[in-house]
Amino acid sequence: MPPTILMQSLEALRRKVKLLGVAYGVGLLLASAVALLLAAVLLDYLLNLPALPRLVVTLGALGVVGYVLVRYILHPAMSRLTIGDVAGKLETTFPQFDDRLRSTVNFMRGGNPGSDTMQQRVITEAGADLLPVLNALLIWGEKHTSAPQPGAHMGIVHRTCGAESTSADRCSNCGEPLTAAEVSWSRSWRGPDPQPLTPAR
C-alpha cells in the first residue's frame, strides 16, 4: 500500500474517531439531561419541595449536566488527537503491527534516523498489515453509514479474479489473500472504474 494512502486512511480514521467521540458525548448529555429532569420533577412532585430545596436540586442537576458537557463533549472536541495517537491505538488493538505503524507515521513525517531502505521496508510492512483493517472499516462503513450520494457504493475488488469481496482479508469469491497489489477499491461517486491501491507495474 502506498504511504500516501496509508496516511490518508489514518487521517480519515482520526477524523471519524473525533466525530464519534463528540457524538457519543452529545448522546450522553441528552440522556443525562432527560433523566435528571424526570428525576427532579418526580422528586418535587413526591416531596412537594419548598423553594430552597427545589433550587438546590435544580443546581445539582445543572452541575451534573455541566460536568457531562465539559467531560464528554468539550474535552474530546478540544483534545489533540494526532495520527500517531491513532496508530498507537491501532497497534494496541492489533498487536500484529508490532510498532511498525507508529514507526511508519514517524518516518513519513521525517526527521527519524535510519536508512531509506529500512524506512521504506517498515512503511511497506505496516501498510500490508493495515490493509485488512482498512478493508474491514470499508465493509463496516458500507453497511452502517450513509453514502455521500444517493445510490453510491463502495467495495473491495480483487483484481486477480475480478470479483467484489465481502471479506476483509481473503477474497470471498476465490479464497486468495487480499494484498495491496491485487486490490482495488470501487467508489461509484468517483467514477465507474475501481481505483487500485498500488500503481500498475
Q: Look at residue 174 in the predicted model and tell me its pLDDT.
A: 94
Lowest mean pLDDT among 6-20, 33-47, 160-174: 6-20
Over residues 151-180, mean pLDDT: 89
pLDDT in tens, 44-87: 889 988 999 999 999 999 999 999 999 999 998 998 888 888 88
Residues 48 and 61 grouped into a single domain: yes
Q: Are 154 and 141 in contact (CB under 8 A)?
A: yes
Q: Look at residue 133 in the predicted model and tell me its pLDDT.
A: 82
Band of residue 197 on the pLDDT scale cut at 50, 70, 90: confident
Which pTM does this prediction carry? 0.54
Q: Look at residue 42 in the predicted model and tell me its pLDDT.
A: 92
Residues 98 and 181 grouped into a single domain: no
- Phi, psi (deg, nearest 5) at residue 192: -75, -25
CA distance linking residue 3 with residue 123, whole number of Å: 7
Residues 121 and 196 grouped into a single domain: no
Residues 138 and 163 grouped into a single domain: no
Mean pLDDT of the chain: 83
Residues 52 and 111 grouped into a single domain: yes
Residue 13 neighbours by CB under 8 Å, 6+ apart: 86, 137
Q: What domain range is 174 assigned to?
A: 147-201
Residues 29 and 121 grouped into a single domain: yes
Q: Look at residue 27 in the predicted model and tell me its pLDDT.
A: 94
Q: How many domains does the chain have?
A: 2
Residues 127 and 161 grouped into a single domain: no
Residues 36 and 109 grouped into a single domain: yes
